[in-house]
Structures are given as C-alpha cells and as structure tokens.
Amino acid sequence: METKLTPGGIVWKIFKIIIYSLMVFFSITFVGIFVWVLINSFKTAPDFMQNALGLPEIKWDYQNYFDIFKFEYKNNNLFQMLGNTLIMIAINVICTISFPVMAGYVFGRMEFKGRAKFEAFLYVLMTIPVIGGASAQLKFLSALHLYDSYLGIFILSSGAFGSGMLILTSLFRGLPSAYAEAAYMDGAGEFTVFFKIYYPQAIPLLSINVITSIIAVWNDYMTAYIFLPTHPTIALGLQQLQRTADVHGSDYPLMFAGIILTMLPVFIVFSFIAKNIFNSKDIGALK
Amino acid sequence: MLEKKKSKGIKGVIRRRRIFIFVMLAWPVLRLLLEWYLNFDIIWMAFRDYTIDIINGDFVGLDNFKGIFNLFDPSRNTMPEYYALLHCAQLMLLVIFVNAPISLAFAYLLYLKVKGYKVLRYALYIPVITSAVVLVLAYRQVFQPDGPINYLYNMLGWEWPSGGFFSAENAWGSIIVFSIWTGFSTNIIYFLSCMRRVPDSYVEAAKIDGASEPKIFFSIILPLASPTICTMISLGIAGVFSWALPSLLFVPQNSGGYNVGTMGLSILNFTTGRHYGLAAAYGILVTLVACPIMIGIRKLSHKLEEAVEY
C-alpha cells in the first residue's frame, strides 16, 4: 500500500534530495581534490605547467617521491622531521591515556568532600575562553629554559581538564559497581580496582581519543611553529615546502608528492578506527 | 575489641582512598594551577614591554592597550584592525548559520542510513583527518589559473576574477568558501553520535502514533540533540577568537595589502614577533568580548540539557 504524500511531506522529500545532492557534491570534491593531487604528483614540473588537468603526458614520473627525501628545513631532512613528529605523537598519546582518565575516574566514581563543588568550579573555568595564552606560555617556557624543548611541550600538553575528561567522567559514572565491590571484598586496593576493572572499560573510548590525537598531532603545524622552531614536524616542513614552491613557482609536483606521503599514514591509521568513530555513541555525550 | 578493629579498618580504607585521590589528581590539579597562573600572567604582561627584557619586561602602563586601540584607527593604518573584527563576526555567522545547519542536515541523512551512507561518511570526514596545510595547498592549486576550476569557468563561459581567487582583493572571499568547505566535518561525527543515542523506543512510539518524519525530527531528534548542537556551536565560536591558520597559509609571506586579518592572526603575529605585551593586551580585550558570549551559550546549553535529559 502506497502512502499518499502530503504537501509538507513533498517539501521534506525535496529538502532531503537537495541535502543528499550537496552531500554527494562535497564528498566528490574531497575525494576529487586528492585524486588530482595524486595524479599531479607523478608529473614533471614542465608537464604540470602545461597540463595541470589531465594524466601525465610525457611519462608517469616517480622521481618526485625520491626527491622529496632530499628536502631539508632548518637542517632537518624528512626523516628527522618524521622523528620529531613521532616524539610529539608519543608525548600526546601518553598525555591522552593518562591524565584525563585519572581525573575522569576520580570525578566519575569517587565520593569525597567538595567533589561536586570542585567539579562545578571546573565547568566554570572551562567556560572562560582565555585568548592570547601562547605569549604567556612562551615567556614561561623561556624563563625555565624549556623553550624549543620536548619537556616544555609535555608540560603544555598534559592538561587533564577538558572535553575528553568530561566524556570519561560520564563514562565512568555510568559503569556498574558490582565488579569493583566484589574486588574490594576480595581485598583489592583502589589502584587495582582502577587499573584492572575500570581502566580496561575505558579503552574503546580511549583508542578513539588516541587515534584522533595521533592524527591531530601529525597534522599540527602551529605547535612546532610557535614552540619548537628548530624541531620542525612533517606538517611544518610541508608548509615550508609550499612557501618554497610559491617563491620559485615551479616545483609543485614535488610538493604534491609530499602531500601524498604525508597523508598516507593518516589514512592508514584512520582506517583502523573509522568504524568505531562512526558508530560511537560516547562522542555525542559531549554536552 | 572487634569494634575497635573494625573502626581501624574503616579508617585505613578512608586513608588509602584519600592517598589514591591525591595521587590521581596531583598532576591534573598542578597543571590546572599552572594554566591559571599563566592566564593571570597575561594580565601582568599586558602592562609591560618585553622588547629588551624578555623574561621580566619593563612596566609601560597602558601603552600596550593604546597600541592596540591605535590599530583600529584608519588614519594611522592602511588596513585598520576593525576588519579583523568584521572578519571574526563573519566567521561566527558562518559557524552558526551555515556550518552547523549543514552538518546537522548531513548527520541526519547519515543517521537515516541513506543510499551510500558508508562511503559518504568516510568522504565527508576527510577534512578532519587532513592537515589544514594540505587542505589549503590542495584548495589553492585547484583555484589557480591552471587548475580544474579555471577549466570549468572556460567551459561555462564565465569570466575569471581579475587577479585570480587569491589576489589581495579576493583572498578573504576564497577563505570564507574554504571555511565552509572544510568547516562542517567535525560536527557531523558529534551530531551523528548524539542522534544514535536517541532511544529507538522514542522513535518507534512516535511512528506507531502516526508521526511523520519531519515531526519525528523536529519533536524528538532535534530537541534531544540540542545540547550537543549548542556545545559544538560554542566550540566553533570559541575557535573563531583564535582563528588564524587559513589566513596565515593563504597569504604569501611578507606580503602587504591582503585584507585577511582576524583577531587570532594579530595575536599570533604579536606572539611570534615576540611582542608579548601587545599579544597579552589584545588577548585580554578579546577575552572580555568572548567571555559573555561563551557563558551565555553555555547557560543556554545547560538549560536545554536539563529540559531533554534522557
């Protein structure tokens, strides 16, 4: 039996068709732009200048993918930039899987005097946007001789109170107490209960946080630009490559090879966790 | 005797719990204190000049604030700072009236599992996992005279803008288009996730009562998703105050005449140029503007949250 559409229903259907078309259009642009970059990364510079749209006319040139490794910025070659990026990733992963979980667990599961007030106070602090903090951070790091050092980056990255902690707090609060109570009865201490019972239950959410943090750090250009000038990361190096290409106006295919190489690890890492991110209900708990 | 032992045991448990809480919160609280020390330090820095003494600075009274207000004076500047303010206002409108509705509509269709939704959600997520540097590079190349957009223009017989899309006159318009293009992807995941949290029983009951699809969307899904929508909008607006990267990447280095400034870009330029006093003074002024807006949005969000608790 076919239901007859009301005028409102027809408008709604047209609206959905328009939105769907827009979605398809945006998707094509996102994918298309990278296909274009990929194809052009196999061209020589003169070939690209004459033929930016089609397939390589002279030959598929893989040389850009070798030449890109000769690129240097502030005495760092691509491998050193990769090393710098991996250190930054390690720092951020350690911070992601430790401090917000510790704070989230205490606020989510422990009862202590002043907890509610402290939590409310934290919400207020998080609401206040403080702009221009980088200047104070730079001054602070310079005073402690931590400017341009990884220890300085660790201190700046190790904040626990943020949206990540709020989601973890709500996750821990919603978990049942039965296992923990049984463990307490068996003489387990607080640390055992935390590490053996509750921490593992946060791992699915944490794995999403870790992957998104790896992707964010891999793509982050600002932190190295402001706080680590002599330890450029891949993203900062790529930006410098763009500046060089802009000035010389010629070697865009080399830069395209850099873009593809930079994106490849992110896509691989993301493919492992994509399903979890898309199907997660926890992310939407951010309120 | 037994009572005494029991009370000693309880005291031990309480003591161990206190130690546990102390250990767990020690670094997070210390780091919070450092953060707020730095936040208050901005006030101290706003009244000092760090050109000579980079650590302690020299007291200069209100000079930094005067310096910032002078930036807004059109008789002193070819590119007065009120353009930065205007650009930020435009970006805020974009966050509220363009990016949020687009991402909500896209998330809803993905929630309904429309045809090809698995591929579409991957494709729409590309900007989130891609560096802004890469996105700007790719976007710029596509709009170059030898890029595909020019090909499209020729095909349709349209006139190519004078000076191209990234000339001093057209750069801001291109940045706005770029911000729309890349601005909705993060929201989609959050909106989709909170739509999934809506209990199926609510939707099923509405369907049994004969509610139409628009009715279900506007009466169930949208109200239940509204706290998350509010939060994402507030995060988007908070981001506008420190928004700098696309302007920085779009414009050639050391080039004047480009009207692409934002408040965040000015603060960043002061910071990297080691004009800490000016950066701090500008930061305080922007914070004073941002605070009531953010607190207002948070209050609204809490009200919505209380109204739709599920």
User: Are A42 and A64 a contacting pair, CB within 8 Å?
Assistant: yes
Residue from B41, B102, B133, B182 to probe the interface with A (highest A Cβ count within 10 Å): B133
* Interface touch B287/A279, C-beta < 8 Å: no
Distance from CA of B269 to the nearest CA of A (A): 10
Q: Centre a 10 Å sphere on the Cβ of residue B197 and count the other Cβ atoms it contains.
A: 16
Structure confidence by residue, pLDDT tens digits, A221-244 = 889 988 998 999 998 888 888 777
Contact B125 A274 (CB under 8 A): yes
Distance of alpha carbon B32 from alpha carbon B29, whole angstroms:
5
DSSP A194: I
Question: Which residues constitute the domain of residue B271?
Answer: 67-307
**pLDDT tens by residue, B61-70:** 999 999 999 9
pLDDT of B26 > 50? The answer is: yes
| Structure confidence at residue B309 (pLDDT) | 58
Q: What is the pLDDT of residue A1?
A: 47
Q: What percent of chain B is modeled with pLDDT above 70?
A: 94
Query: Given CB atoms, is A261 within the 8 Å cutoff of chain B?
Result: no
Strand A72-73 to B48-49 pairing: unpaired
Higher pLDDT, A91 or B232: A91
Count structural domains, chain B: 1
To 5 degrees, how large is the angle CA B130–CA B136–CA B141? 120
CATH number assigned to the domain comprising residue B280: 1.10.3720.10
Q: Which helix (H) or strand (E) holds B197?
A: none
The residue ranges of every structural domain in chain A are 74-285
By C-alpha distance, which of B92, B49, B99 is closest to B263? B92
B133 pLDDT tier (thresholds 50, 70, 90): confident
> How does pLDDT run across A195-228, given as a tens digit for each residue?
999 999 998 888 888 888 888 898 888 899 889 9
Whether A128 and B195 lie within 8 Å, measured CB to CB: no
Confidence band for B102, pLDDT divided at 50, 70 and 90: very high
Q: What mean pLDDT, rounded, does chain A reach?
A: 86
Q: Is the pLDDT of residue B194 over 90?
A: no
In this prediction the ipTM stands at 0.83
Report the pLDDT value the prediction gives residue A220, as an integer from 0 to 100. Answer: 87
Query: Rounded mean pLDDT of B246-265?
Result: 78
Decide if B20 is inside a domain. no
| B260 part of a folded domain | yes
Burial A13-36 (b: 16+ CB within 10 A, else e): eeebeebbeebbebbeebeebbeb
Q: What gap in Å lies between CA A272 and CA A204, rounded to an integer?
A: 13
Whether B201 maps to a domain, the answer reads yes
Q: How far is CA B174 from CA A246, B169, B207, B209, B251, in A?
A: 18, 10, 44, 48, 11
Q: CB under 8 Å to B309, separation ≥6 — which residues?
A: none
Angle at B243 between CA A29 and CA B266, to 5 degrees: 135
SS3 B283: helix
Report how far residue A146's alpha carbon sits from residue B44's, in angstroms, rounded to the nearest whole number.
21
Residue B269 structure tokens: 């330029």
Q: Count other Cβ atoms within 10 Å, centred on residue B149.
A: 16
Mean pLDDT, rounded, for B270-290: 90
Q: Answer whether A270 touches B (CB < 8 Å).
A: yes
Tell me how far CA of residue A146 lies from CA of A151, B22, B291, in angstroms: 7, 27, 31
Q: What is the DSSP string of B125-165?
A: THHHHS-HHHHHHHHHHHTSTTSHHHHHHHHHTPPPPTT-T
Return the minimum-mean-pLDDT range out of A69-73, A122-126, A173-177.
A122-126
Mean pLDDT of A14-40: 92
Residue B204, domain member (yes or no): yes
- B170 contact partners, CB below 8 Å, separation of at least 6: B161, B163, B164
| pLDDT score recorded for residue A285 | 58
Helix, strand or coil for residue A76?
strand
Bigger pLDDT: A267 vs A281: A267
What part of A 169-208 touches B (C-beta under 8 Å)?
189-191, 194
pLDDT at B120: 93
In angstroms, the CA B30 to CA B36 distance is: 10
Distances (CA, A) of B27 to A39, A138, A189, B277: 49, 21, 21, 29
The tens digit of pLDDT for each residue in B136-158 reads 877 887 887 777 788 888 888 88
The pLDDT tens digits for A98-157 are 999 999 999 989 888 888 888 888 877 777 777 878 889 998 998 899 999 999 999 999
Under the banding of pLDDT at 50, 70 and 90, the label for residue B284 is very high
Identity of the highest mean pLDDT range in A163-167, A276-280, B279-283: B279-283
Residues of chain A with Cβ-Cβ distance to B249 below 8 Å are 239, 242
Selecting from B181, B214, B228 the residue whose C-beta is nearest the C-beta of A12 gives B214
Query: Would you state the structure tokens that stand for residue B182, as one six-digit string?
Result: 């890349």
Tell whether B12 is covered by a domain: no
pLDDT at B310: 57
Interfacial A residues in 60-89 facing B (CB < 8 Å): none
Determine the average pLDDT of the residues in A19-31.
94
**Confidence at B169, pLDDT banded by 50, 70, 90:** confident
Which residue from B minimizes the CA distance to A28? Answer: B123
Averaged pLDDT for residues B41-67: 89
Please report the pLDDT score of residue A73 as a whole number: 85
CB contact under 8 A, B36 and A279: no
Choosing among 2.40.30.170, 3.40.605.10, 1.10.10.1100, 1.10.3720.10, the CATH entry for A74-285 is 1.10.3720.10
Task: Determine the pLDDT at residue A238.
Answer: 84
B131 interaction partners in chain A (CB closer than 8 Å): 218-221, 235, 238, 262-263
Query: Quick one: how far is CA B245 from the chain centroid?
Result: 12
Give, for A73, the enclosing helix (H) or strand (E).
strand A72-73
A211 and chain B in contact, CB less than 8 A = no
Q: What is d(CA A229, CA A207) in angstroms, rounded to the nearest whole number? A: 30
Determine the Cα–Cα distance for residues B307 and B22; give it in Å rounded to an integer.
Answer: 36
